């Protein structure tokens, strides 16, 4: 990731070897699998997914038009501030508002809000707000806003996967991902992608198919205990939004980008990868800085793509093995893709929660001086972040717990789908043996990457 995202220390001084944590996590998964097989005999998630509506007065407040307009106005303001600070502010990364806001507040904070509160991105998205504003202005002028083309259902989530891959390429492969001017260009390009797609296919359609962040946050919001159903906010069991199948084209590709990119972020910090990049750069030592940067980026893109493909391939092997074990007549990819959602969130928490806690504090200082000009607009320029708020050991324990719980949640979602899909309980259990192996692989592999970073 960017220099902002690197860890705060190593886990070399733990009281027990890291292999103890690998083994313990695997044991927890096996025990959880056994308990699910013995106790979870019929599908429960979909049954409890309807939830209970929130009180009427609270719903009236949350759905009030003035509140939505106010939040969207703030979203547009923050978007403008971020773009202008990247374009016109200081080029020193840690003194400019944009890098911390994009890579910490936005990319780590919004997923957490989505898992806690539901699909908040529908209101927080500045691109949706700008599109809504454009539609309102057209209608005020007596014109009717219509998309140029119909909904691109045939594309599925592949455009969104491409958009997200472009973002993580900037984040993880570009030689200067946090450089403010680089971010300004990236923001401008993505804004064109988002708004042009909404103009062509419609606001809701493009947020379902092409706006990468909207798709990511909507998938994560399915974990949340809050959702909107038939125009009402309801409180439901967590994870119930992941019940059933998701056969949209590109669903696996999108989740592979989410998980693979986070995994590569950890791998890119290992001594092996750092030495490999240094060796490749050494072969071009006589070339210009531009050539060296291009070579470095090419190597990182190759590594990133390899990890994305590895996630997709291992998943496909597990699902095909499950199909063969139960002699299913069709592919089970769409049936078992949603268990990857809590895993994607677990990887994000494990890799970036310390970044949110530590680097996130700097947003208080940057709010008073977003352009790095020496201002003190809100009197917070002298704020001193607590850089020791968490220790390296605490970070490691949180990483272990989050990865383990995320994969247990994935097992539960997969098991619920299996007992719904197969009438024979023995088939349901057999179909989950490969999924258990996959979860153990992802958990131990993720912990290994974190311990080597």
Q: ∠ at Cα 88 (85, 89), nearest 5°?
A: 55
Q: What is the pLDDT of residues 239-255, one digit of tens each?
A: 999 998 899 999 999 99
Write out the two tokens for 380.
Answer: 């917070």
Query: Is the Cβ–Cβ distance between 352 and 263 less than 8 Å?
Result: no
Residue matched to tokens 């890799």: 351
Q: What span, in angstroms and rounded, lies between the C-alpha atoms of 450 and 253?
A: 23
Q: For the segment 134-167, what is each residue's pLDDT rounded down to a tens digit?
A: 999 988 887 888 888 888 899 999 999 999 999 9
What DSSP character marks residue 107?
I
Question: Which pLDDT tens digit goes with each residue over 396-406?
Answer: 899 999 999 99
- Residues whose CB is less than 8 angstroms from the CB of residue 240 and which lie 6 or more positions away in sequence, other chains included: 45, 46, 48, 49, 51
In sequence order, what are the residues at sequence separation of 6 or more whose Cβ sits closer than 8 angstroms to the Cβ of residue 141?
A: none
The H-or-E segment that residue 132 falls in is: helix 126-140
Assess whether pLDDT exceeds 70 at residue 5.
Answer: no
How many whole angstroms separate alpha carbon 274 and alpha carbon 52?
51
> Strand 52-53 and strand 226-229: pairing?
unpaired
Q: Rounded to 5 degrees, what angle do the CA atoms 335, 338, 339 make?
A: 105
Separation CA 259–CA 191 (nearest Å): 24
Structure confidence by residue, pLDDT tens digits, 52-64: 898 989 989 988 9
Per-residue pLDDT reduced to its tens digit, 348-368: 999 998 899 999 999 999 999
Say yes or no to pLDDT of 121 above 90: yes
Q: What share of the chain is helix, strand, coil (3-state, %, to 5)?
A: 70, 0, 30
Contacts of residue 75, defined as CB under 8 A and 6 or more positions apart, other chains included, come to 123, 124, 125, 126, 129
The DSSP secondary structure of 24-64, one letter per residue, reads: HHHHHHHHHHHHHHHH--S--TTTT-S-EEPPHHHHHHHT-
- Mean pLDDT across the stretch 284-312? 93
């Amino acid at each position: 990731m960017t220099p902002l995202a690197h860890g705060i220390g190593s886990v070399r001084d733990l009281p027990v070897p890291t292999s103890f944590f690998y083994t313990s996590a695997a044991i927890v998964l096996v025990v959880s699998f056994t308990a699910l097989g013995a106790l979870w005999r019929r599908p429960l998630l979909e049954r409890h997914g309807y939830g209970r509506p929130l009180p009427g007065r609270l719903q009236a407040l949350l759905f009030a038009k003035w509140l939505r307009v106010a939040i969207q106005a703030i979203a547009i303001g923050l978007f403008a501030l971020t773009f202008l600070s990247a374009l016109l502010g200081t080029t020193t990364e840690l003194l400019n508002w944009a890098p911390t806001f994009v890579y910490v507040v936005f990319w780590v904070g919004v997923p957490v809000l989505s898992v806690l509160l539901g699909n908040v991105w529908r209101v927080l998205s500045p691109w949706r707000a700008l599109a809504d504003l454009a539609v309102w202005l057209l209608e005020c002028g007596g014109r009717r806003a219509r998309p140029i083309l119909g909904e691109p259902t045939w594309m599925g989530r592949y455009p969104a996967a491409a958009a997200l891959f472009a973002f993580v390429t900037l984040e993880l492969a570009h030689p200067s991902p946090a450089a403010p001017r680089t971010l300004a260009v990236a923001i401008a390009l993505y804004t064109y992608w988002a708004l042009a797609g909404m103009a062509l296919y419609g606001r809701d359609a493009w947020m379902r198919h092409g706006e990468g962040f909207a798709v990511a946050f909507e998938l994560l919001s399915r974990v949340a205990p809050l959702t909107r159903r038939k125009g009402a906010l309801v409180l439901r069991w967590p994870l119930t939004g992941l019940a059933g199948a998701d056969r949209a084209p590109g669903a696996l590709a999108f989740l592979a980008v989410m998980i693979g990119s986070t995994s590569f972020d950890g791998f890119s910090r290992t001594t092996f990868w750092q030495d490999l990049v240094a060796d490749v750069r050494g072969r071009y030592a006589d070339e210009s800085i531009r050539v060296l940067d291009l070579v470095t980026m090419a190597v990182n893109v190759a590594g990133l793509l390899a990890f994305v493909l590895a996630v997709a391939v291992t998943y496909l092997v597990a699902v095909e093995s499950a199909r063969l074990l139960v002699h299913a007549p069709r592919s089970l990819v769409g049936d078992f893709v949603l268990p990857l959602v809590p895993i994607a969130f677990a990887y994000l928490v494990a890799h970036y929660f310390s970044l949110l806690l530590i680097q996130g504090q700097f947003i208080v200082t940057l709010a008073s001086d977003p352009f790095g000009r020496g201002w003190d607009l809100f009197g917070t320029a002298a704020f001193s972040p607590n850089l020791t708020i968490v220790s390296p050991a605490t970070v490691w324990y949180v990483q272990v717990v989050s990865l383990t719980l995320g994969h247990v949640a994935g097992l539960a979602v997969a098991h619920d789908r299996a007992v719904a899909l197969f009438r024979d309980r023995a088939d349901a259990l057999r179909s989950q043996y490969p999924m258990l192996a996959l979860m153990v692989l992802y958990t131990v592999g993720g912990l290994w990457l974190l311990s080597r970073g």
